[in-house]
Amino acid sequence: MAAAAAARRLPAASLRQHRPLLLRPFASSSGDQQPITVETSVPFTGHKIEPPSRSVETTPSELLTFFRDMSLMRRMEIAADSLYKSKLIRGFCHLYDGQEAVAVGLEASITKKDAIITAYRDHCIYLARGGNLVEAFAELMGRRAGCSKGKGGSMHFYKKESGFFGGHGIVGAQVPLGCGLAFAQKYIKEGTVTFALYGDGAANQGQLFEALNISALWDLPAILICENNHYGMGTAEWRAAKSPAYYKRGDYVPGLKVDGMDVLAVKQACKFAKEYALKNGPLILEMDTYRYHGHSMSDPGSTYRTRDEISGVRQERDPIERVRKLILSNDIASANELKNIEKEVRKEVDDAIAQAKESPMPDPSDLFTNVYVKGFGVEAFGADRKEVKAVLP
Ligand SMILES: Cc1ncc(C[n+]2csc(CCOP(=O)(O)OP(=O)(O)O)c2C)c(N)n1
Ligand SMILES: [Mg+2]
């Protein structure tokens, strides 16, 4: 038993090697790819569907990748919090710490040809889709090197070339857009699906049900993921939703309830959902997760919930700690080696911030770019609509 565990353990060299290859398996020597089967923390609960098995197959290198990627995301969000407080990030800023397992587990089960669309809590999904840290921090600080050229800010990260369609500030609006992406995917027949993420607050919106109805009628490969972090701004779910069983809220559309703090459960559910949606049409996944920070930077997050509630989730359900325990109990890496990964991640984030700070702000002339189609001679008027102030390029 001990010998098998030792054989499975990654050699120190390969632990050091793994640079930030987000969501790609670590290059490692023989032995470390031995599959391990892990039970999810809790069983899946199905609505009008037989849930998948609780036994999830993983490998030592996948677990280490999950550990690193979630740690990198956590560190990025903590750093964004400090940059905001020192006024280097302005405007809206919504952090994702606590919810990292959803981004990472989802990405582990799909390809970059599948599409993801989400709301404003988008930094970590962008990283999961292969976005880079410098572009993320530059965007947060409104700099030209940002993934939206510094003109989108925290809520408008995109990476279309790897299937990330934003980054949306209007609560719920991304869900019909996501169903539209799934409509296109049905046409092009490449076996791809769209995951449209929304919150428990957004789950009560009318447009979601309209889009779901059409998606179900037309069997679109649309998977709606409700990230239930139990609050919409300062409103607890029970004050806003008559039925907080979001996985059942599609009525005629099947659903699954998933522990969104367990990255392996998320991976299993998303893999299952993709296969299901390609054959049958839409499905709802409710991810039971938790928001560690307040709603946005203007919300301390502690007036409508108790500190004990927050620390209880951190202690009992934290997604990174869950993977750390799995790595240690399977003797894949030592506690010290995991600490070293965290140190590397911290340095990587600091270096990215330093680089992002070197990027200039957008030129004032960029105010007029990416707004209207070029060359149409669009005229801008003063408030009285009499005098033309400018003709846009
Ligand atoms: C149409 C619309 N209504 C209201 C708002 C203001 N608003 C921004 S976030 C939010 C709460 C949404 O909560 P939830 O869907 O649970 O997402 P979470 O912030 O928890 O990720 C509200 C009401 C908005 N942006 N758009
Ligand atoms: Mg919420």
pLDDT digits (tens, 9 = 90+) for 123-172: 999 999 999 999 999 999 999 999 999 999 999 999 999 999 999 999 99
pTM above 0.75, yes or no: yes
Amino acid present at 365: S
Atom of ligand 1 nearest to the CA of 202: 15
227-259 per-position pLDDT tens digit: 999 999 999 999 999 999 999 999 999 999 999
pLDDT class of 68 with cuts at 50, 70, 90: very high
Q: Whose CA is closest to 292, among 317, 322, 256?
A: 317
Residues 221 and 278 sit within 8 Å (Cβ to Cβ): yes
pLDDT, mean of residues 286-303: 96
The DSSP call for residue 246 is G
Q: Structural domain tally of the chain?
A: 1
Measure the CA angle with vertex 129, ends 72 and 193; round to 5°.
140
Q: Which of 77, 233, 288 to mutate to test the pocket of ligand 1 (most atoms within 8 A of CB)?
A: 233
Listing DSSP states for 338-360 in one string gives HHHHHHHHHHHHHHHHHHHHHSP
Determine the structural domain holding residue 169 and report its residue range. Answer: 2-391
- Nearest residue by C-alpha to atom 6 in ligand 1: 171
Dmax of the chain from CA atoms?
83
Q: Which ligand is nearest to the CA of 234?
A: 1
| Residue 112 CB contacts under 8 Å (≥ 6 apart), including other chains | 129, 130, 162, 163
How would you classify residue 377: left for phi > 0, otherwise alpha for psi between -120 and 50, otherwise beta? left
Residue 25 pLDDT > 60: no
> What proportion of the chain, given as a percentage, has pLDDT over 70?
92
- Atom number in ligand 1 closest to CA 172: 1
Which atom of ligand 1 is closest in space to residue 169's alpha carbon? 25
Q: What is the CATH number of the domain that holds 235?
A: 3.40.50.970
CB-based burial of residue 85 (10 Å sphere; 0-12 exposed, 13-18 middle, 19+ buried)?
A: exposed
Does residue 220 contact residue 260 with C-beta atoms inside 8 Å?
no
Percent helix / strand / coil, the chain, rounded to 5: 45, 15, 45
Ligand 2 mean position, distance from CA 234 (Å): 9
Contact 120, 154 (CB under 8 A): yes
Residues with CB under 6 Å of ligand 1 are: 121, 169-171, 198-202, 229, 231-233, 291, 295
